[in-house]
Amino acid sequence: MECILNDSDSLALAKSLLDQVLPATDVSQWREKTPLLGALPDFDSMAMVALITMVEDSMGVIVSDSDIRAEDFETLGSVAAWIEQLKS
């Protein structure tokens, strides 16, 4: 899924939350196209659940099962776009 994200707040939030979910990984140099799902061994199903929970807590939203698609976790940019979509 190719994402062009204009909202730097969503990108910053995604990066910050992923930094907490993946403490052994340096996310400081990550960009929108940095691959996640399938590319990072530490970004497994448990990490995805932790990320979803942190998004819910930080944004005050409830993420339903229908809001979760694997392609939303392919890259940093797709996670940020998913967060932006949850805002609306």
Categorize the per-residue pLDDT at 18 as very low, low, confident or very high, splitting at 50, 70 and 90.
Answer: very high
Per-residue pLDDT of 32-59, as tens digits, reads: 999 999 999 999 999 999 999 999 999 9
- 2 in a domain, yes or no? no
Q: Are 9 and 80 in contact (CB under 8 A)?
A: no
Q: For position 53, which CATH number holds?
A: 1.10.1200.10
Which amino acid is it at 79?
V
Residue 57 lies in a domain: yes
Please state the pTM of the whole predicted model. 0.88
Could you tell me the residue range of the domain that residue 16 belongs to? 8-87
How many domains are contained in the chain? 1
pLDDT exceeds 80 at position 1: no
Q: Cβ of 81: how many Cβ atoms within 10 Å?
A: 23
Say if 35 falls within a structural domain. Answer: yes
Cβ pair 60, 21 in contact under 8 A:
no
Q: Which residues contact 2 (CB under 8 A, 6 or more apart)?
A: none
User: What is the C-alpha separation between 76 and 83, in angstroms, rounded?
Assistant: 11
